[in-house]
Amino acid sequence: MKRAAAGCAALVAVLLPFAAAADLSLAACDRTTHISHGGETAHRDIGGGRVLYLNWWAQEGVYTDVVVADCAAGNRLIARLKEERIKPRPPFDRVEKGLAVLDAHLTISPALFSLEWVARALDGTGRDIAISALPSEPCACAVLYPEMRGDWAAFEGIEE
Helix and strand totals (H; E) in the chain: 4, 7
**pLDDT of 152 higher than 80:** no
User: CA dist 4 to 1, 9, 43, Å?
Assistant: 5, 9, 42
pLDDT tens-digit profile of 23-80?
Answer: 678 999 998 887 878 999 999 999 999 999 999 999 889 999 999 999 999 999 999 9
Please indicate whether residue 31 or residue 91 has the higher confidence score (pLDDT): 91
Residues near 88 by Cβ (< 8 Å), separated by ≥ 6? Answer: none
Give the separation between CA 151 and CA 70, rounded to whole angstroms.
13
Phi, psi angle pair for 46, to nearest 5°: -110, 10
**Maximum distance among all Cα pairs of the chain, rounded to whole angstroms:** 69
Q: 106: closest CA among 141, 68, 71?
A: 68
Is the pTM higher than 0.95? The answer reads no
Element housing 110 (H / E)? none
